[in-house]
Amino acid sequence: MVIKTSVWKELESIYAQPGNHVVVLYGRQDSEKELLLKALLQNKKYFYYRARQVSPIEQQRQMGMEIAARFGATLQKYTYEEYFNRIRSGDASKLVVVIDEFEYVAKKDLAFLEAVWKLKGKRLYPGPVLVVLASSAISWVERELDGCIGEDAEKRIDRRLKIEELNFLEVVRALPEYPVSECVKVYGIIGGVPGYINRWNAKADIRTNICRLILSRSGYLYGAAEELIGANLRELSVYETILAHIAAGHDKLNELYRETGFSRAKISVYLKNLSAFDLIQKAVSFETGGWENAKKGIYRIRDKYVNFWFRFVYPHLSELILLPVEKFYDRYIENGLDAYMGRYFTEVCMEYLGLLGSIHRLPLEIAKMGTWIGKEGTIDIIAQNAVRQNMVGLCNWDKPEITLDMCEELLASMKRARIGAEYYFLFSAHGFAPEVRALAEKNARYILVDMNEL
């Protein structure tokens, strides 16, 4: 089972430090937060409580019952201060106290957080303790938690750890049976959500997994995109309308206004809400001298699985009900999948450059990196150093090979963007034309990267 290992290592590092600490750990549904917590608690003394969506009085009663059962304690006051006063590790080892989905307590009962601060300050428990406040409510943690705590929030919380998705390298490591090309497809379809990756069968091909997990009505991911939206937002009819049109290529505000019939003001508000939950993003073109030739205000669906669902499945839901899932895949997904993957192959190539840069194996040190989105043509990657020297990248996923014509198109886009480049990275999923290989042999500024290197 896959977890975000870097977060687990960070928690272990905090545990190993002397003194008491309070850590807020949070991530989306299917971040495998619970598996990560299990890994942390292994071979340690701990108290774990999963909060419920109940009244404050019932919450106290439930936690009290578990405190009494876990530590054999006889309780009298049934308060959080009494609970934390009765926990113990039984020896000199550090105790780990985990309150999972703690927002269900903190939102309704300020006494809970006050007891946590007293616990940290050794006013309730003398021994060393690590308190982990865990949550799946990302927006609440990032926007409202500090308001619940007050002006001392930064002092009282020692670390905030967000469980991000797996990056591409971590996806490759999680699916060792797959070649890199298949890992790119998985990454473009379900992203790096640990819970999704853990349910992907790397012994079966892409088609089989999509049919089993996504298209089958009993599949784990069937409807998961709409459930994710519904868990965070109301008025789903508006949000799904906007997402459906962005997935169909209507990615500018004016286009959404024309296609949906909603007012520009209303669309702007709903786009802002979608962005707050990491469901969409406003694609900003890399800033160059050719600003007048760049597209502006482009919206993209950020969540990879939501994008896949609204691009391939949502427009054909009626057929999905009537057709066998294999026939649905063959008719509506197979032919469009390679073109769809181009965007995510570019992301993978950017990650590759970032990793090389982190170990100082690039000819220039990257200060910023992005994509130039032109009205005519696109520069897949611009990586720039602090003195504005550039490395540009051309990323080919679906063409048989990179040709000289494609290199000429890149140079034309660079002219419109008004930039030059010290180095050219040519990434190809399939290969390079002989004349491109010859160019790279003669000119060291052209660097060829094939799928195996990724």
- Residue pair 318/135 in contact by the 8 Å Cβ criterion: no
| Res 453 pLDDT > 90 | no
- Which 3 state secondary structure label does DSSP give 118? helix
- Tens of pLDDT, residue by residue over 64-93, are 999 999 999 999 999 999 999 999 888 889
Fold of 5-162: Rossmann fold (3.40.50)
Mean pLDDT of the chain: 96
The stretch 390-413 carries a mean pLDDT of: 97
The stretch 258-263 carries a mean pLDDT of: 96
Q: Which of 137, 121, 107, 111 is nearest to 24 (CA)?
A: 137
Fold of 340-450: Trna Endonuclease; Chain: A, domain 1 (3.40.1350)
Pick among 1.10.10.10, 2.40.50.140, 3.90.550.10, 3.40.50.300: CATH of 204-332: 1.10.10.10
Alpha carbon of residue 307 to chain centroid = 13
Which residues 6+ apart lie within 8 Å of 388 measured at CB? none
In degrees to the nearest 10, what's the CA dihedral of 233, 234, 240, 241? -130
- Residue pair 47/97 in contact by the 8 Å Cβ criterion: yes
Residue 25 has, within 13 A of its CA and on its CB side, a CA count of 30
pTM: 0.93
Q: What integer pLDDT is reported at residue 152 of this predicted model?
A: 86
Give me the numbers of helices (H) and strands (E) for the chain, helices first please. Answer: 23, 12
Q: What are phi and psi of 372, to 5 degrees?
A: -95, 120
The stretch 390-394 carries a mean pLDDT of: 98
Beta strands in 341-422 (DSSP E): 368-373, 378-384, 390-396
- Tens of pLDDT, residue by residue over 203-230, are 999 999 999 999 999 999 999 999 999 9
Quick one: what percent of the chain has pLDDT higher than 70? 100
- Residue pair 454/349 in contact by the 8 Å Cβ criterion: yes
Q: Compute the C-alpha angle 308/161/67, nearest 5°.
A: 110
pLDDT band of residue 385 (cuts 50, 70, 90) is: very high
| Res 454 pLDDT > 80 | no
Strands 159-162 and 21-26: parallel
Q: What integer pLDDT is reported at residue 151 of this predicted model?
A: 84
Q: What integer pLDDT is reported at residue 89 of this predicted model?
A: 87
Domain boundaries, the chain: 5-162, 204-332, 340-450
- Tens of pLDDT, residue by residue over 179-200, are 999 999 999 999 999 999 999 9
Residues pairing with 97 in the sheet: 47, 131
- Site of tokens 């180095």: 423
DSSP 73: P
- Tens of pLDDT, residue by residue over 145-191, are 999 998 888 899 999 999 999 999 999 999 999 999 999 999 999 99
The stretch 106-135 carries a mean pLDDT of: 95
The segment with the largest mean pLDDT, out of 100-104, 289-293, 296-300, is 100-104
pLDDT band of residue 451 (cuts 50, 70, 90) is: confident
| Res 316 pLDDT > 80 | yes
Strands 45-50 and 423-428: unpaired
Q: What integer pLDDT is reported at residue 444 of this predicted model?
A: 96
